[in-house]
A and B are shown apart, each in its own frame.
Chain A
Amino acid sequence: MIAPPNLEIAVLVLGMMLLMFEAFADKIDKRVFAFAGILGLLTVLIGTFYLAPVPPIDQPTGFWSFYTADPLSIFFKRFALVTTILVIIMMIDYAPSVRGAIAGATQQAGLGEFFALPVLTCAGLMYLVSAIDFIMIFVSLELVTISFYVLVSFTRKNPLSLEAGVKYLVLSALATAFLVYGITWIFGVTGETNLDRITAILARPNIDQTAMTFGAVLVLVALGFKIAAVPFQIWVPDVYQGAPTPVTAFLSVGSKAAGFVVLLRVLRPFLMLPKMDRLLVIVAILTLLYGNLAALPQSNLKRLLAYSSIAHAGYLLIGVACFDGPAVTFYLVAYLLMTLLSFAVLIVVAQPAGERIADFDGLAKRSPFLAFAMLIGMISLAGVPFTIGFFGKFFIFNAAIAHHQTALVVVGAITVACGFYYYLKVVRAMYWRPAVKGDNIPVSGLSRVVMSALIIAIIWFGIYPQPILDALKR
C-alpha cells in the first residue's frame, strides 16, 4: 500500500535522477535514459493501483487542505503517466531530428534532457490534478509550464522552434500573471485560497459579487489559455507547429487535460456567481466555430492538428458548460488515445517525407500499416461510431441535450460536419492520391507495438466503454 503523495515524490525523484546521471554519463547511448524513464513511470503507474485509502477528513488541515486524492485525481494521475510514457516513446523515434537541431559537442548532446524533462512535467501534472487550493494550483501549473518552456524551444537551431518557444514563454507568462491577479482578488474577497472554503464563503449573502466575479474571470482567462479556448487560442497554431512534434503531442494532451481538471475543480465555486454559465456557453460556441472553421483550409498536418485541438477544446467546453464531469473525463481519455496515435504516425512519416498533408499522398501504397493507423486516428477524431471518439461525442451531446443547450447542440452539429471534411482530407491524401515518393517508411518495433495497442484501444473502447466508466467511478 502506497500513500498517494508518494507517487509524485517518486516521479520527481525519478526525473532528478535521470537529469543527474545524464550529466555524468556522456559515453553511453542516451536512449537508455528514455527506457529508464519509461520503466520508472510504468512502475509508478502500477503503484497507482495499490494506493492506501485516504481517511475522510471533514475539515482538511495542513497538507490535506492543498492536496486531495479523490477518484478524479487518481484517474488523472494515471492519465498523466500514460501520456508521458507514450510521449517518451515518440521522443525515441524523434531523436534523430533533435540531434540535427542542437549545436553540441557530442553526437548525442541534449538528448538526455529531452528524455528527462517530460518526467518532471508529469510530476507537475500529477500535482495539478490533485490541487484543491489556488496556491497549489499556481505552483504546480508553473512546474508544468516551465518545463514546457524548455521543451517547446528544444530544437534550438530551428528558427520555427525558437519562435514557438518565445511565443509560448511570453503568452504563458501573461496567462500566469492573470492567474495570480485573479487569485489575489478572490483571496481579497473571501480571505481563503482553498476551493472548498471559498465555496462555503460564497454561499453567504454579504459577499462582494462584483469583485469575486472579476477575480473568477481573470482565473478563467488563465485557464482558457491552457486549454486553448477562444479568444486565448492565438498561440496554439504557431507553437504547435514549431515545437518538436512529441512536445506538441504532450502539450495538446497533457497540458489540455490538466487545464480541464482545474477548470472542473474551480467550477463549483465559480458557478455560484451570476452569469458564469452563460459565459462558458459563449466561450464554447466561439471555440467550436473557430477551431473547426479555421482547420478547414489547413494544408500542414501538424497545424491541422493544432486547430483540431482547439476544436476539441470546444467539445470539451460543452461538457463543462453542462457541468458534466464524467462526460468531460471520458472525452479527454478518447482525445488522449486518438491524438497520440495521430501524432505517433505523424512523427514516423514526417521524418523522411514532411509534415504537409500532401506528403501523405499515397501512403496507403507505401506503408499500409501507417496509413491504417492514421485512418483510425482521423475517423476517431471525426467521431465515427465503433471508435472511442464517437462515445466521447455521444456523452457530451447527451449532456447538452439534457441541459436544453439548443445553441450548443446546433453549433455542434455544424462543426461535426466540418470535422468530417478536414479529417477525411488526410484520408483522401493517403488512399486516393498517387504516391509521390515510392519508399516504404521504416517503423521501429516499439512504435509499431504502441500504435497497434492504441488502434486496438480506440476500437475496443469504441465498442465496450464500460471499463473506462468504471474507472471513473472508483
Chain B
Amino acid sequence: MLLFLIVLCPIAAAVSIMIGAPARATALLASIVTLLMTLLAVAWFDAGSREFQYVISFPVSTDWGINFALGLDGLSLVMILLAAIVTVAAVWFTDKIDNYEHSFYACLLFISGGALGAFASLDLFFFYAFHELALIPTFLLIGIWGSDNRTAAAWKITIYLALGSFILLLGLIMLYQSVPVASRTFDIRELQEAARQIAPVAQRNIYLVLLVGFGILVSLFPFHTWAPDAYAAAPAPAAMLHAGVLKKFGLYGLLRLAVPLLPEGGRYWTNLLLVLLLGNIIYIGLVTIAQRRLDRMLGYSSVMHMGYIFLGIASSNLLGVIGASILMFAHGLSIALLFAVAGEVRKRTNTLVMSDLGGLAKVMPFAGLAFGFGAFAAIGLPGFANFAAEVMIFFGTFRNGFAMERFHIFQVATVLALWGVVISAVYMLRAYRRVFMGAMNDRWKELVDLRHGLRLPVALLIAALLWFGFYPQSLVRILSPVFETYLKQQP
C-alpha cells in the first residue's frame, strides 16, 4: 500500500492541480510527502530478502494476464529514491510561472509520477505505459515554457521518443510472445521463471529491438540527437526531471529485462554495444568540449555519461552492473544539480553563452559553490557517488574475460573509456572557469545569489551525492541480492 501511495501521490496532486488546487503549494507538498514515504520505504526495506517487497496487485485484464502490479526490489528502490529526491528539487526550483501556472506544475508531477510508476511496476504493460505518461507533459513543458527554439526541440524530442517507445513496445511484445503460450505472462517475476524457454535466436532478435528502443530513450550514440536540443530548450525543472530521472528508464529497463532474461542476446551483441557506447564516451565527449553554451554543454555531457552506464551493463558481471545502477543514481543527482544552477543563471542573465559570462562566483558565490560540487561529481572526483560507481564499472569491465597474454575487447573498451574521465574533466572545468571564475563582465554586477529558500534543495542534492560517495556500501548492500539472482540464473 505504501508503494501505491508513493506512485499515486504525484499523479493525484497533478489531477487536483488541474482541477484547481493551489499549484505550487500542492505540488511542493505532494513531492515532499512522496519523498518522506520513499524514505519510509527505504527504512522498512529488508535488504537481505531476494523477493519483491511492498507488492500490490490488481487485475486489469484477466484475458491477457495484465495486472496493475507494483513492487520494489533493491534496483527499483534506488531508482524510486532518485526520482523522489529530484522531484522535490525540481518542484522547489520552479519559479513564478507567468502563463498556465497550474499546467506547469501538473506536467512536472505527471513526469515524476510516470517515472515512479515505471520504476515500481512489476508488469511489463504498466512498466511501459507509465513511462509514456511523461511523453505529452514533456512536449508541453518544452513547447509552452521553453526558451529559444523550443518548437523545434519539442517536436524533435516528442517524435523521437514516440518512435523509440514504439520500437520498445514491439520489443516487449516480442518478449511476451517468445515463451510458449502456456507460460506467457506480463508479470516480470514470472517472466524470469519462464526465461529459460526463450530460444537463443529469439533472444538475439529481441535484444537488438530492445537495445534500439531503450537506446533511443537513453540517447545511445547514433540516437542521441534529440537530447542536447531538448535539454537546452527545456525549462530548468523539466530538464532536471528528464535528464536526471526519466532518461534512466531505458537503462533501468535494460538492467531489469535484458540482463536477466536475454543473456545470450547480450553476449551476441556485445561488440556492437561496446562500439556504440564508445561513441557516446569519446565522440560525444569531444563534441561536448566544443560547445559554447552552458546548457548545450550540459545536455551533451548527460549524453556522454550514459556511455559509462552502458559499459557497466555490457560487462554483465556483478561489479559492473552494480556500478551502472549506482551511476544512474549519482548521475541523476549531479545533472539535476547542474541544470538547476544553470537555470538560475539563465534567469538572471538571459544568456548561457559561456564567453558572455564569467566571474559569476563573485556575485553568486552559493551558485558557484553548487555548480562546483555538481561539476566535480560529474567528473567523478573521489568523495562523490559518481566516483564509486565509475570505479566499479571500470574494474568490473576490465576484469571481464581478462587474460595476461592478450587484451580482450572488454579491456580495450575500458582503456578507451577511461579517456572519457579526462574529457569530462576538460569540459566541466573549462565551463566552470568560463562561467564562474575569471574576469567579470560589468553587466553582471547587479546579479543576486540564489534565494535562501532555494539553497535547501541544492543542499539536499549535494548531501545525497556526498553521503553515497562516502558510503556507497549502503547502495551496494541493497543492489547486490538483485543482481546475484539475475546473474546466477545465467547458464
Is B179 interfacial (CB-CB < 8 Å)?
Answer: no
A-B CB contact pairs (8 Å), 29 listed: A364-B103, A375-B136, A379-B136, A386-B129, A394-B125, A397-B170, A397-B173, A398-B176, A398-B177, A401-B170, A401-B173, A413-B163, A413-B170, A416-B166, A417-B159, A417-B163, A417-B166, A420-B159, A420-B162, A421-B159, A424-B158, A427-B136, A427-B140, A428-B143, A428-B151, A431-B100, A463-B60, A466-B61, A469-B61
Give Cα A402–Cα B177 distance, bound, in whole angstroms.
7
Is B63 interfacial (CB-CB < 8 Å)?
Answer: yes
B132 contacts across to A, CB distance below 8 A: 384-386, 390
Is B136's CB under 8 angstroms from A384's CB? yes
Chain A residue with Cβ nearest B139: A424
A438 to chain B, nearest CB (A): 14
Apart from the given pairs A401-B174, A424-B158, A464-B61, 13 other A-B contacts in the complex at a CB distance below 8 Å:
A385-B130, A385-B133, A386-B132, A390-B132, A394-B169, A401-B177, A413-B163, A416-B162, A417-B163, A424-B139, A427-B136, A465-B61, A466-B61
Is B350 interfacial (CB-CB < 8 Å)?
Answer: no
Is A431's CB under 8 angstroms from B144's CB? yes
Chain B residue with Cβ nearest A391: B61
- Give chain A interface residues in 340-397, CB to chain B under 8 Å: 364-365, 375, 379, 382, 384-386, 390, 394, 397
Given contacts A364-B100, A421-B155, contact A386 B63 (CB under 8 A): no
Q: How many residues of B are counted as interface, with CB atoms below 8 angstroms from the partner's CB atoms?
A: 37
B128 contacts across to A, CB distance below 8 A: 385
Give Cα A178–Cα B60 distance, bound, in whole angstroms.
45
Give Cα A413–Cα B166 distance, bound, in whole angstroms.
6
- Give chain A interface residues in 297-349, CB to chain B under 8 Å: none
A379 contacts across to B, CB distance below 8 A: 136
Give Cα A75–Cα B64 distance, bound, in whole angstroms.
20
B114 to chain A, nearest CB (A): 9
Is A384's CB under 8 angstroms from B135's CB? yes
Give Cα A424–Cα B159 distance, bound, in whole angstroms.
10
A214 contacts across to B, CB distance below 8 A: none
- Give chain B interface residues in 111-153, CB to chain A under 8 Å: 125, 128-130, 132-133, 135-136, 139-140, 143-144, 151
B171 to chain A, nearest CB (A): 10
- Give chain A interface residues in 391-422, CB to chain B under 8 Å: 394, 397-398, 401-402, 409, 413-414, 416-417, 420-421
B60 contacts across to A, CB distance below 8 A: 463-466
A349 to chain B, nearest CB (A): 19
A211 to chain B, nearest CB (A): 39
Given contacts A384-B132, A420-B162, A466-B60, contact A409 B139 (CB under 8 A): no
- Give chain A interface residues in 417-452, CB to chain B under 8 Å: 417, 420-421, 424, 427-428, 431-432
Give Cα A424–Cα B139 distance, bound, in whole angstroms.
9
B441 to chain A, nearest CB (A): 33
In the A-B complex, the 6 residue pairs with the smallest Cβ-Cβ separation, listed nearest first, are A385-B129, A417-B163, A420-B162, A385-B132, A432-B144, A432-B143
Give Cα A311–Cα B219 distance, bound, in whole angstroms.
29
B68 to chain A, nearest CB (A): 8
- Give chain B interface residues in 153-195, CB to chain A under 8 Å: 154-155, 158-159, 162-163, 166-167, 169-170, 173-174, 176-177
Chain A residue with Cβ nearest B68: A463
Interface size bracket, A side? 20 to 34
Give Cα A469–Cα B62 distance, bound, in whole angstroms.
10
B154 contacts across to A, CB distance below 8 A: 428
Chain B residue with Cβ nearest A418: B159
Is A431's CB under 8 angstroms from B143's CB? yes
Residue-wise interface mask of B (347-378) relative to A, using a CB-CB cutoff of 8 A (1 in contact, 0 not): 00000000000000000000000000000000
| Contacting residue for A427 out of B63, B100, B139, B167, CB 8 A | B139
A413 contacts across to B, CB distance below 8 A: 163, 166-167, 170
Residue-wise interface mask of B (201-216) relative to A, using a CB-CB cutoff of 8 A (1 in contact, 0 not): 0000000000000000
A174 to chain B, nearest CB (A): 37
B150 to chain A, nearest CB (A): 8
Most chain B CB within 10 A, of A384, A385, A402, A428, is at A385
What residues of chain A have their CB less than 8 Å away from a CB belonging to chain B?
364-365, 375, 379, 382, 384-386, 390, 394, 397-398, 401-402, 409, 413-414, 416-417, 420-421, 424, 427-428, 431-432, 463-466, 469
Is A397's CB under 8 angstroms from B62's CB? no
Is A390's CB under 8 angstroms from B129's CB? yes
Is A469's CB under 8 angstroms from B63's CB? yes
A465 contacts across to B, CB distance below 8 A: 60-61
Give Cα A244–Cα B174 distance, bound, in whole angstroms.
44
Give Cα A421–Cα B125 distance, bound, in whole angstroms.
24
Give Cα A384–Cα B132 distance, bound, in whole angstroms.
7
Chain B residue with Cβ nearest A416: B166
A401 contacts across to B, CB distance below 8 A: 170, 173-174, 177
B99 contacts across to A, CB distance below 8 A: 365
Chain A residue with Cβ nearest B99: A365
Chain B residue with Cβ nearest A410: B170
A420 contacts across to B, CB distance below 8 A: 158-159, 162
Is B63's CB under 8 angstroms from A466's CB? yes
A385 contacts across to B, CB distance below 8 A: 128-130, 132-133
Chain A residue with Cβ nearest B163: A417
B130 contacts across to A, CB distance below 8 A: 385
Chain B residue with Cβ nearest A375: B136
A103 to chain B, nearest CB (A): 45
| Contacting residue for A398 out of B68, B100, B139, B173, CB 8 A | B173
A90 to chain B, nearest CB (A): 26
A365 contacts across to B, CB distance below 8 A: 99
B99 to chain A, nearest CB (A): 8
A209 to chain B, nearest CB (A): 33
Give Cα A132–Cα B332 distance, bound, in whole angstroms.
61
B6 to chain A, nearest CB (A): 18
- Give chain B interface residues in 39-97, CB to chain A under 8 Å: 59-64, 68
B174 contacts across to A, CB distance below 8 A: 401
Chain B residue with Cβ nearest A470: B63
B64 contacts across to A, CB distance below 8 A: 469
Chain B residue with Cβ nearest A364: B100
Is A466's CB under 8 angstroms from B62's CB? yes
Give Cα A186–Cα B407 distance, bound, in whole angstroms.
71
B318 to chain A, nearest CB (A): 34
B170 contacts across to A, CB distance below 8 A: 397, 401, 409, 413
B161 to chain A, nearest CB (A): 9
Give Cα A414–Cα B163 distance, bound, in whole angstroms.
7
| Contacting residue for B169 out of A397, A402, A427, A464, CB 8 A | A397
B177 contacts across to A, CB distance below 8 A: 398, 401-402
Chain B residue with Cβ nearest A401: B173
Give Cα A205–Cα B61 distance, bound, in whole angstroms.
43
Give Cα A424–Cα B151 distance, bound, in whole angstroms.
12
B168 to chain A, nearest CB (A): 10
Chain B residue with Cβ nearest A409: B170
Chain A residue with Cβ nearest B130: A385
Give Cα A421–Cα B139 distance, bound, in whole angstroms.
11
A13 to chain B, nearest CB (A): 38
A421 contacts across to B, CB distance below 8 A: 155, 159
B286 to chain A, nearest CB (A): 30
A424 contacts across to B, CB distance below 8 A: 136, 139, 155, 158
Give Cα A463–Cα B123 distance, bound, in whole angstroms.
13
Give Cα A379–Cα B136 distance, bound, in whole angstroms.
8
Is A431's CB under 8 angstroms from B166's CB? no
Most chain B CB within 10 A, of A390, A414, A428, A465, is at A428
Give Cα A174–Cα B59 distance, bound, in whole angstroms.
50
A402 contacts across to B, CB distance below 8 A: 177
